[in-house]
Structure 1
Amino acid sequence: MRINWDYIKLTFLLVAVVALYGFADQRNSKRQVSKISVEFVGEENLYLTEDAVNKLLIQKCGPLENRAKEQLVLNTIEEVILSNDMVKNAQVYLTVNGELISEIIQRKPIGRVEGVSKFYLDDTGGRMPLSRYHSARVPIITGKITGKSLEDAYVILNYINDDDFLRKNIIGIHIEEEGNYQLKFRMENFVVNLGGVENLNVKFKNFMAFYTKATKDKTLEEYATVSLEFNNQVVCTKI
């Protein structure tokens, strides 16, 4: 009987590869976590610190450094990090060197509510607690705080953040009542009566036309209120 040496060689090679893979996998699973790293993605202002994340992980998962890699459940670690109210998203992974890395995206505040309760509105419209580590420079929301008025404030803030001039100059939204909102500017004495959140594009277009002309005429300091409530009009009240 003729022996097929090519077949035997191939079989031997496959067995050797499987054995080496099993050995490497077993050896790798017994390796310990060599280092814990926390990386914040995309946001310079830290509403949460690396130390705070590490303390949270120790409280919920126990010490992770020097623990065998096979004992780690990465999904569980991600869920622990996501339980922090400052975190929008988290991804946890292990490197070949045994480093446990947590990449964290923080929530982004766009307005700060100053009422009976104090908190941020984030870029999804959700409530975000204040941080002990950093105070965001965002417009302050005051007045009659309700669920509907906060929804409207979120719409206004989104519009403001899409415009470079408005984002740099509007420092406050005051809620007179639902459907009646005032805007406060950084460098001007007047307040802007916005009315409701309908037709914001038209209202702000009219306001910018007024602001440009008044700046050119050097008359901005003469006004106490600038009203955008009326259809396609800017109505001003002098001091």
Structure 2
Amino acid sequence: MGYIKAMFLLGLVAFLYGFAEYRHKSRKISEVNIEFLEDENLYVTEEAVNKLLIQNNLELTSIDKETLDLNRVEILLKNHDMIENAEVYLNLDGKLKADISQRKPIGRVVGNSSFYLDKNGKVMPLSPYYSARVPLLFGFDDDNVSEVYPLVNYIKNDKFLTQHITGIRRLNGGKFELEMRKLDFSVYFGKVEEIPLKFNNFKVFYKKALKDDKLDAYKKVNLQFGNQVVCTKK
């Protein structure tokens, strides 16, 4: 008798647990919370993300938890032109959270076609929501913009260079010229090689010319020789 009673209680507990689990899974998602990681400018907005989900028949608050395919939502978000990564999960309150990392532009191609070069060296379309303050890239297209990536990537990681370099122009022979902010001379960089050496030489030149009050005396600064800076006076 006691054995039967114990089996009955065990069965009842299993039934109640299963029923509660079913009720939990069949409950609708109460809220969708989209969070953009890091304190960054929005190249894609929360409204745009919600619109994307709806256009793909994923009006999430109308879907129950059991039906929801989190992996599908993540893939959909990661395929967006402005999104680098997305992690989607449900919390205990029945709220769906999407943690989104945006792609980060480091240069902007201007000319016949306009687009960004992102931090991974890939082409990134312009955003209708925000324009990044990054060096402008002249003379580039989809096929050759990868040539300048090592140079732009180095500049973005250097505070001094980011402050002073506003543009990069592609010349013949795979050589490049830099445009400077508030300085009346161009910087001939040459080929994308010996980048740290060339920029260290430029910094030494800049500090010396600034100290001697001679920054306005030059019309061209040539870094292509690597171990020296050759200046042309006005």
TM-score by length of 2: 0.92
Post-superposition offset of 1:12: 7.2
Mapped to 2, the partners of 1:124 and 1:228 lie a distance apart of 26
Which whole-Å deviations, capped at 9, do the CAs of 1:35-67 have from their partners, x for residues lacking one?
112111114200000000000100002422132
CA separation of 1:230 and 1:17: change in aligned 2, threshold 3 A: same
RMSD of aligned residue pairs (Cα, Å): 2.1
Post-superposition offset of 1:124: 0.2
SS at match of 1:70: coil
Query: Unaligned 5+ residue runs, structure 1?
Result: none
Match of residue 171, structure 1, among 147, 162, 166 = 166
Corresponding residue for residue 136 of structure 2: 140
Mapped to 2, the partners of 1:50 and 1:37 lie a distance apart of 9
Corresponding residue for residue 53 of structure 1: 49
Which whole-Å deviations, capped at 9, do the CAs of 1:88-115 have from their partners, x for residues lacking one?
0011111222211111100000000012
Corresponding residue for residue 155 of structure 1: 150
Which whole-Å deviations, capped at 9, do the CAs of 1:144-175 have from their partners, x for residues lacking one?
54634x22311001111221101121110011
CA separation of 1:219 and 1:30: change in aligned 2, threshold 3 A: same
Alignment length, in residue pairs? 234
Sequence identity (%)? 49
Corresponding residue for residue 234 of structure 1: 229
1:106 equivalent in alignment to 2:130:
no
Match of residue 121, structure 2, among 110, 118, 125 = 125
Corresponding residue for residue 85 of structure 2: 89
Counting only pairs closer than 5 Å after superposition, residues 178-197 of structure 1 correspond to structure 2 as: 178-197=173-192
Mapped to 2, the partners of 1:13 and 1:166 lie a distance apart of 73
2:147 aligned partner, one-letter code: D
Post-superposition offset of 1:19: 3.6
Mapped to 2, the partners of 1:62 and 1:201 lie a distance apart of 49
TM-score by length of 1: 0.90
Corresponding residue for residue 217 of structure 1: 212
